[in-house]
C-alpha cells in the first residue's frame, strides 16, 4: 500500500486549496527569493553545531527503526538522526538539504519512549516530509508583519490539525501497534512515563473524547474559540482518530471503508472547529444555508411560523438576525439547490449534524 492511500482526505483537500491561495503563493515566493540570496550555512550546519549526530555505530537500534520506517513509507532519501539536550518530549523533521533528510529528537524523548513508541514518532515526522507539509509556510504567514485574513488563518489552523492526522497515520503504519501509539500520545499529553503511580488505560484515555462529545450535544454548539487556533489536535482526539484508522481496510482486510473512516474522523475533529453557524469554510456555508432553508420550510408548513418557532430559530443565529425578514416561499423553492450544495461540500457526518439540529 502506498502512503497516498492513507493520507487524510481533509488534509489533502485543504493542502491543495491553500497552495492555490494568493497570500500563500506570495509568501512561498518571498521565502524562495530569500533562500536563493542566503549565503549563510543551512540547517545541517546548524544541527551539527547545536546537537549530536547519531551515527549507526552510536545508535544501531534507532537506525534500524529508521530503516523500517523508510521502507514502509517508500523513502529513498538518506537520513541523518540528531539528538539535543532537552527536558520536553519533542521531535522534528526538517526539509531536505543537499540530498539529505534530518530528524531531530530531544534527549528526554529518546530516554522515555519504548521502541514501538519511537517507531510511531519517527514515522509521524517522516509523514510530514512524505506529504510535503513543509510546503505550506504556516509559521511565516501567521507570524508575519501583516496579519492574514481571518478566513485564511482559520483554514491554516484547521489544515494543520488534519496534517497531524495524516502524519499520525504514517506513524501508526510504521509502528503497527495501537496500544504503543496511544501510550506514546499519553506520555506526550501527561508527561508520565512509568507505571508506578499511574497505569495507562487505552479505554479510559478514549473515554475523555466521549465526555468531550457530551458537551457538543447542544444544537449548533461548537468548540470554544481558543480551540480553533491550535495547530495540533488534542491527544485524546488523535488516539480516537487513530483507533478509527486501525479499524479501517487501510490497515486490515474487512475493515471500514475510507469514506466512513473520514466521516468518523471529521466528527472527532469537529470538537475543535467552529460550529457551522460561525465557520468560514465552504462546508460551513453550505450547512448554514441548508439549515436556514430547512428550518424555515419545516416551521412554515403548518399555519406559518409561530412566535415560539421564531425564538428557537434565533437561538441558532447571531444576535440581531431578523428571522422575520426571511422569505419562506423563496427558501422552500431553493431548498433542493442547498441540499445539493451541502452534498457537494459537507461530509455525511456534517450533514447529519444539520438534520439533528432541524429535529
At residue 256, the 3 state secondary structure works out as: strand
pLDDT in tens for each of the 359 residues of the chain?
789 999 999 999 999 999 999 999 999 999 999 888 877 778 999 999 999 999 999 999 999 999 999 999 999 999 999 999 999 999 999 989 888 999 999 999 999 999 999 999 999 999 999 999 999 999 999 987 788 888 889 889 999 999 999 999 999 999 999 999 999 999 999 999 988 899 999 999 988 888 877 665 554 456 677 787 889 999 999 999 999 999 999 999 999 999 999 989 988 998 887 777 666 677 778 888 888 787 777 776 666 666 676 666 666 665 555 555 666 778 778 888 888 888 887 766 677 777 777 76
Q: How far apart are CA 239 and CA 279, in angstroms?
A: 25
* Cα angle, residue 231 at apex, residues 263 and 25 outer, rounded to 5°: 95
Grid cell for residue 353: 449534524
Sheet of 52-54, strand order: 52-54, 79-84, 100-106, 91-97
Domain boundaries, the chain: 3-272, 282-358
Q: Are 259 and 273 in contact (CB under 8 A)?
A: no
Q: Are 135 and 28 in contact (CB under 8 A)?
A: yes
Beta strand spans in 28-119 (E)? 52-54, 79-84, 91-97, 100-106
Within 10 A of 330 (CB to CB), how many other CB atoms are there?
A: 11
Q: Are 105 and 180 in contact (CB under 8 A)?
A: no
Amino acid at each position: 500500500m502506498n502512503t497516498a492511500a492513507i493520507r487524510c482526505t481533509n488534509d489533502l483537500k485543504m493542502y491543495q486549496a491553500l497552495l492555490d491561495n494568493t497570500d500563500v503563493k506570495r509568501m512561498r515566493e518571498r521565502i524562495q527569493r530569500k533562500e536563493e540570496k542566503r549565503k549563510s550555512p543551512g540547517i545541517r550546519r546548524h544541527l551539527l553545531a547545536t546537537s549530536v549526530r547519531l551515527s549507526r555505530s552510536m545508535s544501531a537500534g534507532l537506525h534500524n527503526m529508521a530503516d523500517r520506517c523508510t521502507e514502509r513509507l517508500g523513502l529513498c532519501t538518506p537520513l541523518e538522526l540528531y539528538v539535543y539536550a532537552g527536558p520536553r518530549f519533542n521531535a522534528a523533521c526538517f526539509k531536505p538539504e543537499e540530498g539529505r533528510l534530518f530528524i531531530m529528537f530531544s534527549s528526554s524523548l529518546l530516554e522515555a519512549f519504548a521502541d514501538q513508541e519511537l517507531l510511531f514518532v519517527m514515522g509521524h515526522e517522516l509523514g510530514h516530509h512524505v506529504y510535503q507539509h513543509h510546503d505550506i509556510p504556516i509559521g511565516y504567514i501567521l507570524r508575519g508583519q501583516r496579519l492574514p485574513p481571518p478566513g485564511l488563518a482559520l483554514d491554516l489552523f484547521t489544515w494543520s490539525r488534519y496534517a497531524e492526522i495524516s502524519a499520525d497515520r504514517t506513524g501508526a503504519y510504521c509502528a503497527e501497534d495501537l496500544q504503543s501509539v496511544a501510550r506514546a500520545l499519553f506520555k506526550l499529553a501527561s508527561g508520565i512515563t512509568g507505571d508506578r503511580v499511574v497505569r495507562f488505560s487505552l479505554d479510559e484515555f478514549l473515554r475523555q473524547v466521549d465526555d468531550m462529545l457530551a458537551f457538543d450535544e447542544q444544537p449548533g454548539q461548537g468548540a470554544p474559540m481558543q480551540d480553533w487556533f491550535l495547530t495540533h489536535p488534542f491527544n485524546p482526539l488523535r488516539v480516537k482518530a487513530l483507533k478509527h484508522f486501525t479499524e479501517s481496510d487501510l490497515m486490515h482486510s474487512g475493515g471500514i471503508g475510507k469514506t466512513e473512516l473520514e466521516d468518523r474522523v471529521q466528527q472527532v475533529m469537529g470538537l475543535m472547529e467552529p460550529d457551522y453557524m460561525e465557520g468560514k469554510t465552504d462546508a460551513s456555508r453550505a450547512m448554514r444555508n441548508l439549515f436556514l432553508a430547512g428550518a424555515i420550510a419545516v416551521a412554515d408548513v403548518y399555519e406559518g411560523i409561530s412566535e415560539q418557532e421564531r425564538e428557537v430559530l434565533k437561538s441558532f443565529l447571531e444576535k440581531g438576525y431578523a428571522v422575520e425578514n426571511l422569505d419562506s416561499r423563496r427558501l422552500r423553492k431553493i431548498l433542493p439547490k442547498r441540499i445539493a450544495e451541502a452534498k457537494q461540500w459537507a461530509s455525511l457526518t456534517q450533514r447529519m449534524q444539520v438534520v439533528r439540529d432541524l429535529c
